[in-house]
Amino acid sequence: MLDLKKIRAEYPILGRTVEGRPLVYLDNAATSLTPDCVVKVINEMYHCHKANVHRGVHTLSQEATDLVEATREKVRQHIHAQSIEEIVFTRGTTESINLVASSLGDMLQHGDEIILTVMEHHSNIVPWQLIGRRKRIRIRAVPISDDGQLDLEAYEDMFTENTRFVAIAHVSNVLGTVNPVKQMIDIAHRHDVPVLIDGAQAAPHLALDMQAMDCDFYALSSHKMYGPTGVGVLYGKRQWLEKLPPYQGGGEMIGHVSFDNTTFADLPFKFEAGTPDYVGIAALAQAIDYINELGMDQIAAHEHELLQALTQGLMEIDGTRIFGSAPEKGAVVSFLVRDINSYDMGLLLDKLGFAVRTGHHCAQPLMARYGVTGMVRASLAFYNTLDEVHAFVAAVRRVAGMF
């Protein structure tokens, strides 16, 4: 079992008060908190290894470069990719998806189709729409059931001779639904269609294996994995990364430049233009070590216990509606109580010390599917406690009584 007292001591922010009350942080799906051991690496990078990477022969540059490339290998091992050439550093899941959409866009033609789902985050909708407007391609969205599960029969029926790409969330940031991505990838591959998985909500909670999953691209963010902001990862199968043109141009990603022609660097540097956030990248390695030391199985078990307690507690409040009750579900509960506006509920909960997310959660098509404009979302992490969950339920009950 997790030693919660020891774990929570590594997060000084959990000792804060809000409006004179102890902070209870339940906005982990937006961004996770960062432990002391990761912050220590950030400080050490700035204090001891502050030099640009891949371009210098001096000692500091070599040290920083070695730390970045060691992180690349650590990421490869963590997600079970075949080679470090398949690991591209970006600024986050959003940029990773934009990279693929922009690069793939050069290969699409008028009339081509892309399959998404109704539950996608805007970051996995808007980039495809931008490409769609340029290339006049069609976007199709897989519908969901009332309990938040994808309609796999409808999904399979969507494939036509014009289908060129599939991009789907591994875990819904609103419903918590863990989608059957392996099954969906297999279906797409039977039609010779590549698949991108948005793993922003999955990476902090699930063990990942790119070989077993067999996706063509996978995107994730450091800041949702207890690491620093501004760092993300795009995994891509080598054959696809070699095929796609660069997303950006600049230093680092070139082989040779003249005014007549430019050649590009080998993978993965072909997609890493400019100076990377090497400080954050080095800290990501520590974040990965941290969660692996805790153990993904232990993390999952504790978060499931919290999820069950939170769900049961909220359902005991009259008029509560929880959105998303799929059998496979992550530690996210989005809800409304009667007709109380989500913003009003969130504002009053903040006054009681509870940090939750309100509104459409960058998933407006999903809100439309359920006929609401917004929800209250409480998202859990392994440093949350059962006492916090019980206190939160009591706070929701108290706020509901005010209306």
Residue ranges of alpha helices (H) inside 54-205 are 59-79, 93-105, 126-135, 152-157, 181-190
Q: Among residues 85, 52, 57, 82, which one has the least CA distance to residue 67?
A: 52
Query: CA–CA separation, 381 vs 25, rounded Å?
Result: 9
Given the residues 37, 48, 215, 362, the one annotated as active site: 362
- How many residues make up the chain in this entry? 403
72 touches 87 (CB < 8 A): yes
Q: Which tokens hold the place of 221?
A: 């963010």
| CA separation, residue 190 to residues 56, 128, 196, 311 (Å) | 47, 23, 15, 38
Indicate the angle between helix axes 296-315 and 278-294, nearest 10 degrees.
Answer: 80
Q: What is the residue whose two structure tokens read 């204090």?
A: 47
Q: Which tokens hold the place of 281?
A: 């990248």
> Distance from CA of residue 25 to its chain's centroid?
18
Cα dihedral 291, 294, 298, 302 in deg (nearest 10) = -80
β-partners of residue 115 are: 140, 166
User: Could you confirm whether 362 is annotated as catalytic?
Assistant: yes
Query: CA–CA separation, 318 vs 309, rounded Å?
Result: 17
DSSP state of 251: S
Strand positions, DSSP E, 224-380: 232-236, 254-257, 262-264, 320-323, 332-337, 354-355, 357-359, 375-379
> Distance from CA of residue 254 to its chain's centroid?
29
Query: CA–CA separation, 118 vs 332, rounded Å?
Result: 18
Catalytic machinery residues: 362
